[in-house]
Chain A
Amino acid sequence: MTGAIVAAKALSKWYGEVIGLNSFDLELHEGITGFVGPNGSGKSTFFKLVSGLIRPSVGQIRVLGEDPWANQPLMARLGFCPDYDNLSDEQTFRSFLAFVGGLHGMRGPTMGSRIEEVARIVGMGEHIDRRIGGYSKGMRQRTKIAGAMLHEPELLLLDEPLSGTDPLGRREIIALVQSLHAEHGHNVIVSSHVLHEIERLTPQVAVLYKGRAIATGNIQEIRGLIDKHPHNILVESDRLDELAKRLVGLPCVVSMQFSPDRTGLTVQVTRPEEFFAAMPGLVEAVGCRVRRMLSLDDDLESVFRYLVG
């Protein structure tokens, strides 16, 4: 377990009879690592074990070379952004960060200037004195990230930072997380239940399913496994017949099926990213108006079932 920023060995965590993590083995190294898995796969349990909020039932975990349980000094080297929203609507960005800074022993002008700096980094400079109650979901996520990075930790733990954000907010947070590593030198572990989002963040991923790490490493290798299994994508639009004729020409499309009322089309594809890249051009060529388009496998349940055989 040497050289790893986080290393888990035979790590298990039970909540009564419910299994959070099950004999979990993993080594994470410097950089950005994406944790991907459906709800209940153990992502949040892992984050809480790393940040010392809960203790392992069995096995061991080392974070930056130390046991995180009941190890408060280690917390100065970690920054944890939880998946839940625990911000007070009454506070402002500045007062929330001043509270967090106080907990980390920061005081006076040094803390004040650091808060201003962090506000700029997370793109909240203009909203620093506004009440959090008036923030959008994306702004609240950025405020939580700011709280986690205020004290310049070596390792940032971002649990579902993209959850509930709109596409624009998602893009901004992805860019922010990438800059946290590239420009500010933080090691980051970030989770999502959407593989495409993680893919945009980092090539280094760990895939979790039912409390186990079922695949770790470069996403291209994992995607190679996943791409052998067709994905189902639902498209709802007008002029579906014409769109379907064009879709047949895409090499990644395996099959298509219209819904009984012919308002939706389920397309089976082998490489979703190729499909999504081609769609804007096809839509423009056909001149149709797409009402909805979503990957039915985005909850990843089917993909994970495939990966675990």
Chain B
Amino acid sequence: MYTFRKLLFSRRIFITLLIALFVGGVMAYATTQEMDTLAGGTDMLDNIVLSFFMPVMAMIYGSSLVRDEIDDRSITQVVASPMDRMVTYAGYYLGLAASVCAAILLVLTTGFLVFFGALGFGAGSGHVYGSMVALVVIGSFAYSALFILVSVLISHPVYFGLLYAFIWEGYIGSIPGNIRLLAVKHYVRSLGAHWIDVGAISRYNASTPGDAATVLAVLTVGLLVVGALVFRRKEFP
């Protein structure tokens, strides 16, 4: 709860609000273009929120969480307490995932309301929104597990986070062929393909939903366990 409050009600909230405003602006502009409302709106939310801002915002929140506390040494009280460090790490992770989730949902909801609010919600938009919410929740937990580990392992996690979010997820994850299997985005969108039946995401079928869910679950839990073990044995000079 402390991590959640600290992350959400900090300067990062202004970044989140700016991103939400930006997405709202882009979606407002999109309403002036000629397109199929449901498919067009779904593609916009897919490209802007799921594929781009979800990893970027998870990076913004996640790569600095533990590292900031290590750097300003406020972590001393936490690691010098009797609480098992693996439990502490899990607490950080849950707070981070909840914060990332809330922030991205704010952006997603802003984009959705601006676009479909202007052009009419119509049949199917509610289903698209609900599916996107589920994908954001799943993606937030997966990305958070990655970026919190990075923030424990690396002194300057933002640089790694930027490279990962923009180059790896943004570029590698978009290259056709099996190489995209190495990006988290691939599995999130593979799940989406089976939940959403309009737009480009509905035709994204590189992995079965079972495989995608398994990979995401194993990846999330695996990263979490590795991170907790690293945190348990970490020195805080």
Contact = CB atoms under 8 A, between A and B. Distances in A.
A78 interface: yes
Nearest to B235: A54
Contacts of A76: 82
A161 to B, nearest CB: 15
Interface residues of B, number: 19
B82 A105 contact: yes
B35 interface: no
A147 interface: yes
Contact of B80 (A15, A70, A78, A88): A78
Given A82-B76, A86-B77, A103 B237 contact: no
Interface in A125-157: 147
Interface in A68-114: 70, 72-76, 78, 80, 82, 84, 86-88, 99-100, 102-105
26 contacts: A48-B237, A51-B80, A53-B76, A53-B79, A53-B235, A53-B237, A54-B235, A54-B237, A55-B235, A70-B233, A72-B83, A73-B82, A75-B80, A80-B80, A82-B73, A82-B76, A86-B72, A86-B73, A86-B76, A86-B77, A87-B74, A103-B81, A103-B82, A104-B81, A105-B82, A147-B77
Contacts of A203: none
Nearest to B75: A86
A103 B76 contact: no
Interface string A26-45: 00000000000000000001
A87 B74 CA distance: 7
A54 B83 contact: no
Interface string A14-28: 010000000000000
Majority SS of interface residues in chain B? loop
Given A53-B76, A53-B80, A72-B81, 10 more contacts: A45-B237, A51-B80, A53-B79, A70-B232, A70-B233, A82-B73, A86-B74, A86-B77, A88-B74, A103-B77
Interface of B: 2, 72-74, 76-85, 232-233, 235-237
Contacts of B74: 86-88
A52 interface: yes
A30 to B, nearest CB: 21
Contacts of B78: 103
B237 A75 contact: no
Given A53-B236, A53-B237, A55-B235, A72 B76 contact: no
Given A53-B76, A86-B76, A103 B232 contact: no
Nearest to A102: B2
A15 B82 contact: no
Of A73, A100, A103, A147, most B-chain CB atoms within 10 Å: A103
The interface centre, meaning the residue of B76, B79, B233 with most chain A CB atoms within 10 A of its CB, is B76
Nearest to A48: B237
Contacts of A103: 77-78, 81-83
Nearest to B84: A72
Contacts of A87: 74
Nearest to B77: A100
A70 B84 CA distance: 9
B234 to A, nearest CB: 10
Nearest to A80: B80
A54 B73 CA distance: 14
Contacts of A72: 81-85
Contact of B237 (A15, A86, A147): A15
